[in-house]
Amino acid sequence: MKVFNKLVRDKIPEIIASKGEYAKTRILNNDEYKKELDKKLLEEVNEYMADDNVEELADIVEVIYGILNSKNVSIEEFENIRKAKVVKRGAFQDKIFLEETE
């Protein structure tokens, strides 16, 4: 028996069952879900930092979409917020590294 105790993608129980294994699951309440999404975000960021793999970035985005959904914020609304910040403060495309100010 393997113990995971973590939030997984929706189809994981099906995938486990297709291998002839049993997956004990439960549905989280909203507070638990938010807490587990936050933990999952850290997990995925750490995996990306360790592997430098684009697939891990896709996992990060999927978790972010889950967080947005839990906050009732649409992807379109989020994109508008992101774009407004780019207009106001810029993006990260120019590779600027701030060393210090006086």
CA distance 3 to 32: 18
Please state, in angstroms and rounded to a whole number, the distance separating the CA atoms of residues 36 and 6.
7
- What does pTM read for this prediction? 0.89
pLDDT digits (tens, 9 = 90+) for 42-92: 999 999 999 999 999 999 999 999 999 999 999 999 999 999 999 999 999
The counts of H helices and E strands in the chain are 4, 0
Q: Are 47 and 57 in contact (CB under 8 A)?
A: no
pLDDT tens by residue, 8-42:
999 999 999 999 999 999 999 999 999 999 999 99
